[in-house]
Amino acid sequence: MSEEVLADAVEEVAAEEVAEPGQETDPVSALTADLQRLQAEYANYKKRVERDRSLAHELAVSSVLIELLPVLDDIERAESHGELTGGFKAVADHIASATERIGLSKYGTAGDAFDPQIHEALLHDTSADVTTSTATKILQPGYKFKDRILRPARVGVTDPQESPVSE
């Protein structure tokens, strides 16, 4: 702060003291309290801006990764049909490793317990072989970035077969 601003602030505090004769306040302590309040407000502002910047970065990365999901699906289908060879395989490997480094992870394996928050049930079946609702067929894997689900795993669910109630 410049000396003029500080002198003006001291005069304002002194003028307030004259306006309120019943209260005696020290101008230095009043200015110190104001400075501490401003420092706290600034620290909170910096934290909020950094949190918002981090969130905006995550949303931007998520939107790019969502656009890449169909490409990753096509690469996986090509690999399952044996068409992923030569130079295209090298490119596919680079894409897969880059997305993993960024933080994209694939999930959904046959035999996982069905969780409606991370799975999307497309088929339904019953069987005596399972004791709880289980994702038995993975029709399309799910992807998540950090803690955010980008696409739920699309699965076939098998529920336990209900036993007949005897009367």
For 139-167, what is each residue's pLDDT tens digit? 999 999 988 999 999 999 999 887 655 54
The tens digit of pLDDT for each residue in 108-126 reads 888 889 999 999 999 999 9
What is the per-residue pLDDT for 127?
A: 86
Q: Is the Cβ–Cβ distance between 23 and 35 less than 8 Å?
A: no
* Reported pTM: 0.68
User: Quick check: helix, strand or coil at residue 144?
Assistant: strand
What is the per-residue pLDDT for 8?
A: 65
Would you tell me how many other CB atoms lie within 10 Å of the CB of residue 43? 10
Name the residue ranges covered by the structural domains of the chain.
105-167
DSSP for 66-99, please give it. Answer: HHHHHHHHHHHHHHHTT---HHHHHHHHHHHHHH
Mean pLDDT, range 91-117, rounded to an integer: 92
Name the CATH superfamily housing domain 105-167: Head domain of nucleotide exchange factor GrpE (2.30.22.10)
Place of tokens 């307030």: 16
Place of tokens 């795993």: 153
The tens digit of pLDDT for each residue in 14-67 reads 555 444 555 667 889 999 999 999 999 999 999 999 999 999 999 999 999 999
What is the per-residue pLDDT for 58?
A: 94
